[in-house]
Amino acid sequence: MSTEIVFETHSWSEDNDRGVATGWLPGRLSPRGRALAAELGQRRRDDGVAAVFVSDLRRAAETADIAFSGTQVPVLYDWRLRECDYGERNGMPAAQLHEHRDRHLDEPYPGGESWRQAVHRVGRFLDDVTLRWAGQRVLVIGHVATRWAFDHWINGVPLEDLINADFAWREGWEYRMPDPHDRPERTEPRPVSAC
């Protein structure tokens, strides 16, 4: 029995306006972002979702709070859905940070994590979500790392293909998570050799 996962990114933030890569910093929604969060709620409140899972970073939590305020849909916060941790580079200009993003596929950002580590972290969420919500439709509000993990673990897209692709925003992505017995076992990230 498959679990349906609808993925939405957090709404537009003040850092998006400024061209900043927020990473593990909390961030805040801009006025445009709050309006988009309300639209997300209108789109998804009656979409048959049994639960909403959301990154615990402020910009994502604020998106869920606005979108699902006053509903009976449970909103559950999970740190594993966070963006990649850019470590010392959290909060730097996004264009500068992402110029050589492929260098950090396996090599962690200074004081942070690699993209592969972030995708494996989100993969652990996927392992757990079917324990309670198997056969149901759930909504996940997260970040680039969250979506890449879904593309990688559910659709089999190699991270090497995702790392250089542009992140094109749209109103949601839909995934079908197979029964846990039908999924291949996850492997841990490859160790990174010290330079």
Catalytic residues: 10, 83
Q: What pairs with residue 76 in β-bridges?
A: 53
- Torsional sign, CA 123, 128, 130, 133: negative
CA distance readout (Å), 137 to 5, 11, 51, 76 = 6, 21, 8, 14
Is residue 56 within 8 A of residue 77, CB to CB? The reply is yes
Q: What pairs with residue 138 in β-bridges?
A: 5, 51
- Torsional sign, CA 156, 161, 164, 168: negative
